[in-house]
Amino acid sequence: MSLESATSLRDIAAAVARKAARLALDHYGEDIEAWQKGDKTPVTKTDLAVDRLLREELTAACPGFGWLSEETPDDPSRLARRDVWIVDPIDGTRAFVKGKPEWVISIAAVREGAPIAAVILNPATDELFDAATGMGARLNGVSIHVSTRAELEGCRMLAYGDLFARPEWPAPWPPMHVEQRNAIAYRIALVASGAFDAMLTLNLKSEWDLAAGALIAAEAGARVTNHQGEALTFNHPEGRGHNIICAGPALHEAILARVSFIPMARIVAASQD
């Protein structure tokens, strides 16, 4: 795919995300009813409405693409497609319901397993992160770059704080400034922009949580892998199966040195609990 067509897909995704954001904002801050899906994650009528809008608009613009979304029943025909849209209509539904500005619309165009265009839009804060392969990453049209921090001590880390206090670590983690954001995609985007130095989650996440952020962060200079240093690929049958370390190369290496000993089988078992 040419750079021009990757940027075209980025621009298509951004325009559709803006349209979806207007729909979502119509209900943001209201008394929103949420219910649990089979996997015990929450969903609202707004999630489903945004999903319908994204699917209609994106598949109309690119009719040859497959489709993978958190809120659409999976169609295995996507596995035979070279190109697929991977989206999360509202990543951070809990934050959306609570009126916290930590939810995003996440869209990735994936070709042969690799994201080539991506948009993450936080409608509540009007932050639009985007990237096209080989063209860098941007926040509201301005180029962004991951931080160059190399030391864990004192770094700005997005993760669950209790992760670092678990007794099974071979050596204590150094003091860090640890915060949390509800949406995985938003955490990755904040690292890409340099607002935070790193993000880490060991539990396995779905492809729609990671695909857009993986490209945006990589284009911003981050190294993005699973906890054993392996690259993330997408459009797999299960649509799930990655955890993630996202940071500048030096800091990524420091985190990897502390977590790569954990067997993948243990991660899989913990994620199924």
* 136, pLDDT greater than 80: yes
Q: Helices 184-192 and 207-219 sit at what angle, rounded to 10 degrees?
A: 0
* 273, pLDDT greater than 50: no
Domain 3-143, CATH number (from 3.40.50.1820, 3.30.540.10, 1.10.606.20, 2.102.10.10)? 3.30.540.10
Looking at residue 65, its amino acid is: F
Domain 156-272, CATH number (from 3.40.50.800, 2.60.40.10, 3.40.190.80, 3.40.50.720)? 3.40.190.80
Residue range 84-103: average pLDDT?
Answer: 96
To the nearest whole number, what is the mean pLDDT of the chain? 94
Domain with CATH 3.30.540.10 in the chain: 3-143
* 1, pLDDT greater than 70: no
Q: Tell if the pTM clears 0.85, that is, is over it.
A: yes
Q: For 19-147, list the strands marked E by DSSP.
A: 34-36, 42-44, 66-69, 83-91, 104-111, 114-122, 127-132, 137-139, 142-143
* CA neighbor of 125 nearest in space, from 24, 241, 260: 24
* 100, pLDDT greater than 50: yes
* 2, pLDDT greater than 60: no
Enter the tokens of residue 99: 């009126």
* 265, pLDDT greater than 80: no
Domain with CATH 3.40.190.80 in the chain: 156-272
**What pLDDT was estimated at residue 31?**
73
Span 238-252, pLDDT tens digits? 887 799 999 999 999
Span 163-211, pLDDT tens digits? 999 988 999 999 999 999 999 999 999 999 999 999 999 999 999 999 9
* CA neighbor of 116 nearest in space, from 133, 134, 102: 133
Using alpha carbons only, give the angle 22, 26, 28 rounded to the nearest 5 degrees.
Answer: 105
Per DSSP, the three-state class of 201 is strand
**What pLDDT was estimated at residue 33?**
84
Looking at residue 133, its amino acid is: T
**What pLDDT was estimated at residue 195?**
98
